[in-house]
Amino acid sequence: MTDHHIHIIGGGIGGLFTAALLAKEGYKVTVLERSAHVGGGLQSFSRNGVTFDAGMHVVGGLQPGGSLNRICRHLGILDQLHYRQVDADCGDEVFCFEDRTRYRIPQGKEAFTKYFQQLFPEERDDIQRYVDHLFAMADKVDFFFLRPGSEATIGDDTFYQSSAQFIADHVRDPKLRSLLAYLSPLCGGDAGYTPAYIFALINYLYISGHYRFEGPAEQLAKALVHRIGELGGEVLTNAEVVDLRMEDGRVQSLITTDGRSLKTDLVISSIHPQAMLKIVNGPLFTKAARARLSAAPNNYSAYCVYVVLKDGMFPYLNHPCYGWDDYDKVWQFGKYDEENWPQNFVYFTPCEKDQGPYARALQVIVFSPFSMVERWADTTVGKRGSEYEMWKAKHTEQILDKLELCHPGFRACVEAVYDATPLTIRDYFNEPEGSLYGLQKDSRDPFAGYLPIRTRAENLLMTGQNVFLHGCCGVPLTAVMTAEAVMGEKDGIVKQLEVGS
């Protein structure tokens, strides 16, 4: 046990995992969350008696031996989680309106490879080389697998080529290239930007086998909060930090909106770095660094539709589904053309406990740029005006039209519809421009979209998706990295994870 008091800014998945890991090591930890609810993308909400998840819909790394499985087991919360694997014979479904073809992509490296070899027999050997190279690239990122002695270092130059080029270097058929890129939205994918190693890591996770929570995703946040409390830590809501008081290169105290001054030994920021700029003064960021970070591009956001379904009308789908207008749109998730929108989207039916054959809800995500709502950027929740409401109604109807094309008769199954735009994500989750994955990762400038764990302040560290990798597996991995930086013990937590796995 140590008497050092650690304050963590942000009660999202990164802040909660970091707090739980440090509390388990005997540190006194306090998490400060600006909103009334913790969890960030793990939050859930109810409409018409039906629960929807705000952000976390599919989860990788929960299989026995997987990184997230090992971290949750180490923290003693794995048995509190309820989850199921997606269908083995159809882990993901893709429907292309261009030729009205539906693809049912199986789970597992071998099944995945054989599926595409059967569709494109003339590229059989190329597909095998592609999948082997994809998995080999992921395998070189030691920390992704929590190997003792590893660091979050990356391999050779091929790691930093664009994902689209990585695929093109292996296969020739344009349609095959698009199909192999179907997971691009989960990578924050952009054809000219996304580094190949991020694409490889995300594909490794979901090809190997991904999972869904049975019941709301907030169960993970609740389990972490409970565990932090058991270990002597605390999680405070409605506790927004508005200033860090610095002296002699160290953070001495944190100031909250209600005027509290909290003395601290160590601060860990789990919020977006552009949000951090607003509460940090002094020499922590040079003028040039502050300007560069302020102007750094963010990844895209999303327009979301939440559909309450009539009982016994629409089948439960135990896998995510992807819809494309045509094959060329696979890398266009962050683009916006109002008259031809949406050109691609993802939808799924949430999994309830004791899930039966029929779904009670369906969620749609259209990955979209913040520019689509830029004209209302200065408005606040509930006060955006009638033009905005009419604009939303039009866009939601366009999404329902696409679902009707995917599943004829779908509209007859609908009981109620709710929607949210990038402005919602921005305002509720304190994410600049409603960014889903933080700063944009750029294959042409590999370090532009990342922050180091350590800052110029001796006792201020960073964690979260801008440090290593986004997602429900990537962010907990970053939490391990941050916790070990605090402990100053090489392989401390990772070694424990190895022993306990």
The per-residue pLDDT for 438 is: 87
With b for 16 or more beta-carbon neighbours within 10 A and e for fewer, the 309-345 pattern comes to beeeebebbbbbbbbbbebebbbbbbbbeeeebbbbb
- CA 376 from centre of chain: 25
Lowest mean pLDDT among 15-24, 197-206, 290-299: 290-299
Give how many domains the chain has, as a whole number.
Answer: 3
Strands 241-247 and 250-256: antiparallel
> What percent of the chain has a predicted confidence (pLDDT) above 90?
68
Q: Which of 248, 289, 319, 299 is nearest to 87 (CA)?
A: 319
**DSSP track, 392-453:** HHHHHHHHHHHHHHHSTTGGGGEEEEEEE-HHHHHHHHT-GGG-SSSBPP-TTSTTTT---S
- Peptide bond preceding 148: is omega within 30 degrees of 0, i.e. cis? no
What is the helix (H) or strand (E) element at residue 292, kind and residue range? helix 287-295
Task: Say if residue 427 is in the same domain as residue 306.
Answer: yes
Q: Which of 282, 250, 246, 252 is nearest to 454 (CA)?
A: 250
CA 143 – CA 145 distance, rounded (Å): 5
- The residue that leads in pLDDT, 281 or 332, is 332
Task: Say if residue 408 is in the same domain as residue 427.
Answer: yes
CA 148 – CA 489 distance, rounded (Å): 12
User: What global pTM score does this model have?
Assistant: 0.94
CA 389 – CA 255 distance, rounded (Å): 37
Residue 112's CATH number = 1.10.405.10
Q: Could you report the per-residue pLDDT of 331-377, keeping only the tens digit for each? A: 887 788 888 899 999 999 999 989 999 999 999 999 999 999 999 99
Task: Say if residue 305 is in the same domain as residue 414.
Answer: yes
What is the helix (H) or strand (E) element at residue 222, kind and residue range? helix 218-230
| Torsion of Cα atoms, 395 then 400 then 404 then 406, to 10° | 80
- The residue that leads in pLDDT, 423 or 249, is 423
The answer as to whether 100 is a domain residue is no
Q: Is the pLDDT of residue 119 over 80?
A: yes
The answer as to whether 83 is a domain residue is no
Q: Is the pLDDT of residue 500 over 70?
A: no
- The residue that leads in pLDDT, 283 or 76, is 76
Q: Longest C-alpha distance within the chain, in Å?
A: 68
The answer as to whether 279 is a domain residue is yes
- Give Rg (Cα) of the chain: 22
Task: Say if residue 339 is in the same domain as residue 427.
Answer: yes
Task: Say if residue 251 is in the same domain as residue 310.
Answer: no
The per-residue pLDDT for 154 is: 60
Q: Is the pLDDT of residue 449 over 70?
A: no
Burial class (CB in 10 A: 0-12, 13-18, 19+), 417: middle
Q: What is the DSSP letter of 173?
A: -
Of 394, 420, 436, the residue that ends a domain is 436
Q: Average pLDDT, whole number, for the chain?
A: 90
With b for 16 or more beta-carbon neighbours within 10 A and e for fewer, the 423-444 pattern comes to bbbbebbbbbbbbbbbbbbbbe
The per-residue pLDDT for 153 is: 56
The answer as to whether 91 is a domain residue is no
pLDDT (mean) for 111-120? 98
Of 153, 184, 208, the residue that ends a domain is 208
Q: Is the pLDDT of residue 278 over 80?
A: yes
Residue 61's CATH number = 3.50.50.60
The answer as to whether 99 is a domain residue is no
Task: Say if residue 305 is in the same domain as residue 278.
Answer: no
Task: Say if residue 315 is in the same domain as residue 265.
Answer: no
Q: Could you report the per-residue pLDDT of 460-479, keeping only the tens digit for each? A: 999 998 887 888 778 999 99
Task: Say if residue 398 is in the same domain as residue 306.
Answer: yes
pLDDT (mean) for 429-458? 83
Of 187, 208, 229, the residue that ends a domain is 208
User: Hey, is 72 helix, strand or coil?
Assistant: helix
The confidence band for 265, taking pLDDT boundaries of 50, 70 and 90, is very high
Residue partners of 373: CB distance under 8 A and separation at least 6: 388, 421, 422, 423
The answer as to whether 69 is a domain residue is yes
With b for 16 or more beta-carbon neighbours within 10 A and e for fewer, the 35-46 pattern comes to bebbbbbbbbbe
3, 16, 258, 309 from 264: Cα distances, Å: 11, 18, 17, 49
pLDDT (mean) for 74-80? 96
pLDDT (mean) for 48-66? 87
Task: Say if residue 423 is in the same domain as residue 484.
Answer: no
Task: Say if residue 401 is in the same domain as residue 346.
Answer: yes
**DSSP track, 178-200:** HHHTTTGGGGT--TTTSBHHHHH
**DSSP track, 473-501:** HHHHHHHHHHHHHHHT-TTHHHHHHHHH-
The answer as to whether 347 is a domain residue is yes
CA 438 – CA 485 distance, rounded (Å): 22
Q: Is the pLDDT of residue 441 over 70?
A: yes
Task: Say if residue 19 is in the same domain as residue 73.
Answer: yes
Q: Could you report the per-residue pLDDT of 162-205, keeping only the tens digit for each? A: 999 999 999 999 999 999 999 998 888 787 788 899 999 999 99
What are the φ/ψ torsions at residue 498 (nearest 5 degrees)?
-65, -45
CA 183 – CA 189 distance, rounded (Å): 8
The confidence band for 491, taking pLDDT boundaries of 50, 70 and 90, is low
Q: Which of 43, 77, 8, 68 is nearest to 471 (CA)?
A: 68
CA 103 – CA 392 distance, rounded (Å): 30
The per-residue pLDDT for 143 is: 86
| C-beta of residue 255 within 8 angstroms of C-beta of residue 243 | yes
CA 417 – CA 361 distance, rounded (Å): 10
CA 30 – CA 321 distance, rounded (Å): 39
The answer as to whether 88 is a domain residue is no
The per-residue pLDDT for 498 is: 66
The per-residue pLDDT for 489 is: 63
Length of the chain: 501
Task: Say if residue 240 is in the same domain as residue 312.
Answer: no
Q: Could you report the per-residue pLDDT of 224-236, keeping only the tens digit for each? A: 999 999 999 999 9
Range of 324's domain? 300-436
CA 227 – CA 258 distance, rounded (Å): 27
